Structure 1
Amino acid sequence: MPPPDRYAIVAVASSAGGIGALGRFLGGLGGDLRVPVLVVQHLDPRHRTVIAEVLSRRTRLKVKLAETDETARPGTVYIAPPDRHLLVGPGGVLTLTSTELVHFLRPSADLLFESVAGAYGPQAIVCILTGTGRDGAMGVDAVRSRGGTVIAQTPESAEFSGMPSAAVGTGAVDYVLPLDEIAPVVRGLVGTEGRR
């Protein structure tokens, strides 16, 4: 097992069925997680989103929409706003972009995961939850190739199995777990003690 201070960031992607799944996942993380959590949830860009408010009622972690140039802080969940890609760079600095759609999507899990892989390498954990399509599959490959850890929801426990099935199909997934087992595994990997 890696030492408990090995991990520095968690990134999560979901699409169809994702709001409920994210609520259960974030609620299971407790209130003392010592790394930031970055979230791509595919949202309708035509409507103002209330996802941060909805999810904040389900977790003790702070939940907010990500902003460009802010630094991701431990114990905070940063959600990609509708129609913006969310990327992270060295030191946890967040960037939002309106570059082209990836697989017809913006935000893209693939782009987030690839940026996490580049900035954090083996210190990254990424999770793929319920959703249609293949978003995230290229990204989990990038994370695994840089030594990060990849977790996918079991396709049969997902409301929509497309995204987790595509991730599992890459052969780059370390853990395939029912939804309610993912947060305890993340907590175990990250640990809840502060850095010394």
Structure 2
Amino acid sequence: MNVPAAIAIGCSAGGVDALKAVIGGLQATLRQTVVVCCHSSSDTVGLLCEVLGRTSKLPVIEAAERHQAQPGVVQLAPTGYHLLVENDHHFSLSIDSRVNHSRPSIDVLFMSAADVWRSALIGVVLTGGNNDGAAGLRRIRQLGGLAIVQSPHGAVAATMPQAALDLAGADHCVPLDDIAPLINRLCMA
């Protein structure tokens, strides 16, 4: 794998604390695009941006329709919309049916990001209570990208990381506290 161009992160149950650990641990010099899909209740993405922004060394914003995917910025999927990355690296939002009972869906984000960034993408699956993200992580690996999965043993909800491991496998399955340092190393290679 070459130096990655982007990092796609997905989480659900227990995800806010997991995201705080990962996003808060990313270096201020990170030049990769960071896109995040976190299953959350309605109207909480703005609050999540604020919470993550308190510990992040990178700007944290809500992704918007036709906005450019920005390097060195953490961009979160808006509540109630699937977030997709288009070939021109702009975002699009969709209100298509729920995938894995979720909108936004991690699989939808991961698959579109994999099709755009291919081997230059890192996919990260964190804690969660369903199997969303597993098929998307498999697609990332099929196209040459790298897969990082939080160890299910330390996850608040082990279902999502275990489903990802079962379906896609992982290049790295590590405890939560090791994920940000690993991403920092991979992005500096």
TM-score relative to the length of structure 1: 0.92
Structure 1 counterpart of 2:183:
186
Structure 2 counterpart of 1:109:
106
| SS of equivalent residue, structure 1 residue 64 | strand
Matched, 1:43 2:4: no
- Among the aligned pairs, what percent are the same residue? 37
Structure 2 counterpart of 1:99:
96
Structure 2 counterpart of 1:160:
157
- Alignment map for 1:54-93 (pairs within 5 Å): 54-93=51-90
Q: Provide closer, same or farther for how the CA distance between residues 83 and 75 of structure 1 changes in structure 2, counting only shifts above 3 A.
A: same
Consecutive unaligned residues in structure 2, runs of 5 or more: none
Structure 2 counterpart of 1:140:
137
Distance 2:188 2:81 in 1: 31
Q: CA RMSD in A?
A: 1.4
**In 2, are the aligned partners of 1:14 and 1:41 still within 8 Å (CA)?**
yes
**In 2, are the aligned partners of 1:87 and 1:115 still within 8 Å (CA)?**
yes
Query: Counting helix residues as a fraction of each chain, which structure ranks higher?
Result: 2
- Return the letter of the residue paired with 1:43: S
Distance 2:130 2:46 in 1: 22
Count of aligned pairs between the two proteins = 189
- Return the letter of the residue paired with 1:30: Q
**In 1, are the aligned partners of 2:137 and 2:147 still within 8 Å (CA)?**
yes
| SS of equivalent residue, structure 2 residue 57 | coil
Consecutive unaligned residues in structure 1, runs of 5 or more: none
Moved segments of 4+, more than 6 Å? none
Distance 1:35 1:11 in 2: 10
TM-score relative to the length of structure 2: 0.96
**In 2, are the aligned partners of 1:136 and 1:163 still within 8 Å (CA)?**
yes
Distance 2:121 2:63 in 1: 18
